[in-house]
Chain A
Amino acid sequence: MVVNIHFDSSWQEGFLKRFHQDGPWGNWELYKLAVESEQHTVIEEFEGLVAPKHLPNLTPLPHQLEAARQVVENMNGKAILADEVGLGKTIEAGLILKEYMIRGLVKKVLILVPASLVTQWTKELNEKFFIPAVAQKKSYVWEKCDVVVSSIDTAKRSPHQEIIYKQDYDLIIIDEAHKLKNNKTKNYQFAQNLKKKFCLLLTATPIQNKISEIFNLVSLLKPGHLGNESAFNEKYKKDSRSIENNEHLKELVNKVMIRNRRHETGIKWTERHVETVPIRFTKEEQELYDAITALRTNGNWMGPGAFSVMTLQREACSSREAVYVTLRNMLKKEKTSSDFQDQINYLIKKVESVRSNSKAEKALELIKNIDDKVIIFTEYRATQLYLQWFLKQNGITSVPFRGGFKRGKKDWMRELFQNHARVLIATEAGGEGINLQFCHHIINFDLPWNPMRLEQRIGRVHRLGQEQDVHIYNFATKDTVEEHILKLLYEKISLFEKVIGELDNILTKMDFGNFEDYLTDIFGYSATEGEMRIKLENFSSMIELATQMKEGEKRAAGGNP
């Protein structure tokens, strides 16, 4: 016999008791209603999705329904949902969860998401999917509630971890799962030790740098699917970056991964309007910048110092406050020569003589002209604080946003921004994990060097659900590293016009290492302006080539019936 049959005897006990005690007996009408309700809820087929019937207020897109069906029918409920940014991975995960819950296959669920998304997940599951999800706040929640949403950082801490390890989960969902790409980290090991029947890993970027990242993700989901670690390394070491080149590996990965591409979904996106706003330094700002640049050839700043000079240059393009904080920290550091200290103090003098911030003035002018909410992104805490003060001086309400905020504070800030403030000032770390579709204007006060991070910034606003065109203003100070990177790199690869997600395709395809290392090399070690220009051009040509290859591939793929 291939299958065990279990006959539930609990009803019989209750019945025999009533038989001997002569009651109490139920009501005939209710008895009939009980049978009718079963007839309405019974699911007679293994295949197909019943969840949509239970969700009249949700209209899933075709690719979302198909993804959910695939996971349930062909992937046995273990999958990496790797749609490009903004295609609704959360909806897919919600559909799958709902399907399993309706069918009675899943009861106990753990959902691990970035701290800033805990409330949002909880809200969406409750409101869109009618799933009674609870945000973890007290430690008893792990045991008492069936569907719990938490951040992985909370979950892995004592005493939570010990309690969680004792639970048998039917389904585990991990959002932003690319953070588990390294199997040596505590987070990875924590996730690996969870007891899970079904598992969904959500990430828009399943591979960022190395092919081993996909190995680790898949091994979390289905250990052995890509072999064991030593065999995998042996086999794929040679072409360590390009999964595309290896048909066999690609096929294996596709058995556990669903990746919808934007151009395949046929969804109409609102436009991006990109405007470069050239900024001119004031005389004092220019002097500060030049003083920093002059240090490039100085012995104290050479070698590993190349990085510091560039950091300071970039900071000088943002605010004097940002420069000042870095200089102070340099002074505090280990014993430095008095010569070096003098140079720093000299720069601090220059900082002090700067009286105004050209970018901030420009931002103010823009905000006054835009009759709508605005998000300002900056890389630097110091600039963020300064801007907050500056806007307040000019009668504009703003709220800060940082990655380091606690969950409640993030929600609160988002709420404040939506209902009470004109401007949200976010630092880089704050870019991930909040959705701000109600806003349509972004000012990039300064530019990150990793285009993926720029992508994430824009992705907060330009995503599924955005109903209006999005305006992006890039501030670039004339004759600085900033202008170079914008003009020679970002504009050349028409980064800003790309629909979201296309970029990660291209970057993962390129066969070179870390983007930022590359740029540090170009800016830090070029002897002359001319050399830097040529290196940057080479670099952007490489990206262009990768883009063309990508488009060629798309056409070729489109040619198939």
Chain B
Amino acid sequence: MQQEEIHEFLVRFFKANGCEILANEQGYLTVQLTIELDKELMNRPFYWHYLEKTGGVPNPAILTLITDATKAPQDIKGEKIHFGSPRLHQIFQSAKNLAGYIRLYEKRNSPPGRNIPLRPWIGLNIKISYQCDRKRDILRSIGLQLINGRMVEGFHERLLQLDLTPKIPDYSFTLSPLIMPKSGIARIERFLRKELQNEDHQWAIDAKKRWKKDLQLLEHFYEDCESKGESYHNEKEALKNQYEPKINISIINGGLFYLTETAI
């Protein structure tokens, strides 16, 4: 992530949270946090607890973030932000916490006098983690139409092309789902499981080989001992934790989308 990208990301993040941007200059920005975002980012629960008990006037913090020290004024005081900085990752995490669930409607101009029907979709942004003693992740975005059961890949990218709003637009009405969201999610899960089972899992086979080899060494190490002590069992358990191949499917975020018939 380039420094300009980070800057842009931060501005969008704070605006989306309703914060006033006090300065948005080359290399830095200064933000007046809202109470909610102060609680989310500034890690000062005692202050807020105290304030709520005493009924004082809340004074959320002003945050200055320096995204490029070479461009920012020399005398500016603030936190330097780069791709690895904890603050940025806290903000990443915060975006996920604050927007885990969503419901949106597509807005489209309708011919006068006609109401537009919107069809329900469930959309999930998914992270698939392949893990043994190493790890890799794949992101997927899958949408499922809750009337006819049609499933679509790259759903999020398609949503980005549409005009979406949190309130149902005028002259639009929603169709009721035939497939309930719960079973929609289950369909997506079944689909992913089936697909993953058919993948080539050489990585897992290799990990199991490494595991087996280390287990054999461990057995050999303790073979002279009459009673294998706690350290043997610890070690054995640790090898399982280290090598056992598994795939974790987790959902980053997702929600309900009411879209026109031709949207996707």
Chain A residues within 8 Å of B, Cβ to Cβ? 1-8, 11-12, 14-16, 18-19, 23-47, 53-57, 72-73, 76-77, 103-105, 130, 132, 168, 170, 192-198, 219, 222-225, 227-230
Given contact pairs A25-B166, A39-B139, A54-B84, A219 touches B231 in the complex (Cβ within 8 A): no
Contacts of B234 in A (CB 8 A): 193-195
- Our pick among B83, B196, B244 for the contact of A54 (Cβ within 8 Å) is B83
> Are the C-beta atoms of A44 and B136 separated by less than 8 Å?
yes
Q: B125 to chain A: closest CB distance in Å? A: 5
> What are 13 A-B contacts with C-beta separation under 8 Å?
A3-B204, A5-B197, A14-B101, A25-B255, A27-B17, A27-B98, A30-B95, A34-B92, A35-B253, A37-B9, A37-B95, A46-B134, A192-B231
Contacts of B138 in A (CB 8 A): 42, 44
B237 within 8 A of A: yes
B77 within 8 A of A: no
Knowing that A46-B130, A46-B134 touch, tell me 13 more A-B residue pairs with CB under 8 angstroms.
Answer: A2-B201, A2-B245, A5-B197, A6-B248, A7-B193, A28-B166, A29-B12, A33-B12, A33-B13, A37-B96, A38-B92, A193-B231, A224-B222
B156 within 8 A of A: yes
Q: B162 to chain A: closest CB distance in Å? A: 11
Query: 0/1 per residue, B50-87, Cβ < 8 Å to A?
Result: 00000000000000000000000000000000111110
Given contact pairs A44-B138, A228-B222, A34 touches B253 in the complex (Cβ within 8 A): yes
> Are the C-beta atoms of B241 and A30 separated by less than 8 Å?
no
Q: A166 to chain B: closest CB distance in Å? A: 12
Contacts of B125 in A (CB 8 A): 34-35, 38
Contacts of A31 in B (CB 8 A): 99, 102, 253, 255
> Are the C-beta atoms of A223 and B98 separated by less than 8 Å?
no
> Are the C-beta atoms of A193 and B230 separated by less than 8 Å?
yes
Of all chain A residues, the one with the shortest Cβ separation from B232 is A223
> Are the C-beta atoms of A35 and B220 separated by less than 8 Å?
no
B35 within 8 A of A: no
Q: Which interface residue of B103, B156, B189 has the most chain A CB atoms within 10 A?
A: B103
- Our pick among B182, B197, B223 for the contact of A12 (Cβ within 8 Å) is B182
Contacts of B196 in A (CB 8 A): 5
Contacts of A12 in B (CB 8 A): 182, 185, 251
Contacts of A42 in B (CB 8 A): 127, 137-139
> Which interface class (under 10, 10 to 19, 20 to 34, 35 or more) fits B?
35 or more
Contacts of B203 in A (CB 8 A): 46
> Are the C-beta atoms of A5 and B253 separated by less than 8 Å?
no
Report the bound CA distance from A244 to B196 in whole Å: 48
> Are the C-beta atoms of B134 and A30 separated by less than 8 Å?
no
Q: B252 to chain A: closest CB distance in Å? A: 5
Q: B224 to chain A: closest CB distance in Å? A: 6
Which residues of chain B from 193 to 217 have any CB-CB distance to chain A below 8 Å in the complex?
Answer: 193, 196-197, 201, 203-205, 208, 210, 214, 216-217
Report the bound CA distance from A45 to B245 in whole Å: 15
> Are the C-beta atoms of B220 and A224 separated by less than 8 Å?
yes
Contacts of A33 in B (CB 8 A): 9, 12-13, 16, 95, 99
> Are the C-beta atoms of A28 and B164 separated by less than 8 Å?
yes
Contacts of A15 in B (CB 8 A): 101, 181, 185, 254-255
Query: 0/1 per residue, B235-264, Cβ < 8 Å to A?
Result: 101100111111111111111100000000
Of all chain B residues, the one with the shortest Cβ separation from A25 is B103
Contacts of A225 in B (CB 8 A): 217
Of all chain A residues, the one with the shortest Cβ separation from B236 is A223
The 5 closest A-B pairs by CB, nearest first: A54-B84, A224-B217, A224-B221, A26-B99, A37-B92
Report the bound CA distance from A8 to B126 in whole Å: 10
Given contact pairs A16-B181, A35-B125, A5 touches B249 in the complex (Cβ within 8 A): yes
- Our pick among A6, A193, A222 for the contact of B214 (Cβ within 8 Å) is A222
> Are the C-beta atoms of B253 and A8 separated by less than 8 Å?
no
Query: 0/1 per residue, B13-26, Cβ < 8 Å to A?
Result: 10111000000000
Report the bound CA distance from A14 to B141 in whole Å: 19
> Are the C-beta atoms of B220 and A195 separated by less than 8 Å?
no
Contacts of A222 in B (CB 8 A): 214, 217
> Are the C-beta atoms of B86 and A132 separated by less than 8 Å?
yes
Contacts of B216 in A (CB 8 A): 224
Report the bound CA distance from A117 to B100 in whole Å: 42
Q: Which interface residue of A5, A44, A170 has the most chain B CB atoms within 10 A?
A: A5
Given contact pairs A33-B9, A76-B133, A224-B216, A26 touches B208 in the complex (Cβ within 8 A): no
> Are the C-beta atoms of A35 and B16 separated by less than 8 Å?
no
> Are the C-beta atoms of A77 and B217 separated by less than 8 Å?
no
Report the bound CA distance from A23 to B256 in whole Å: 11
Contacts of A30 in B (CB 8 A): 13, 16-17, 95, 98-99
> Are the C-beta atoms of A223 and B218 separated by less than 8 Å?
yes
B129 within 8 A of A: yes
> Are the C-beta atoms of A19 and B249 separated by less than 8 Å?
no
Given contact pairs A15-B181, A37-B96, A53 touches B84 in the complex (Cβ within 8 A): yes
- Our pick among A8, A19, A43, A77 for the contact of B133 (Cβ within 8 Å) is A77
Contacts of B136 in A (CB 8 A): 43-46
> Are the C-beta atoms of A196 and B238 separated by less than 8 Å?
yes
> Are the C-beta atoms of B135 and A23 separated by less than 8 Å?
no
> Are the C-beta atoms of B223 and A228 separated by less than 8 Å?
yes
> Are the C-beta atoms of B9 and A27 separated by less than 8 Å?
no
Of all chain A residues, the one with the shortest Cβ separation from B124 is A11
B219 within 8 A of A: yes
Given contact pairs A38-B125, A42-B137, A42-B139, A197 touches B231 in the complex (Cβ within 8 A): no
Which residues of chain B from 101 to 122 have any CB-CB distance to chain A below 8 Å in the complex?
Answer: 101-104
> Are the C-beta atoms of B248 and A103 separated by less than 8 Å?
no
> Are the C-beta atoms of A32 and B160 separated by less than 8 Å?
yes
Contacts of A19 in B (CB 8 A): 181, 256
Report the bound CA distance from A56 to B91 in whole Å: 19
Q: B154 to chain A: closest CB distance in Å? A: 12
Report the bound CA distance from A254 to B26 in whole Å: 51
Report the bound CA distance from A362 to B32 in whole Å: 63
Report the bound CA distance from A194 to B231 in whole Å: 8
> Are the C-beta atoms of A16 and B248 separated by less than 8 Å?
no
Contacts of A47 in B (CB 8 A): 134
> Are the C-beta atoms of B221 and A228 separated by less than 8 Å?
yes
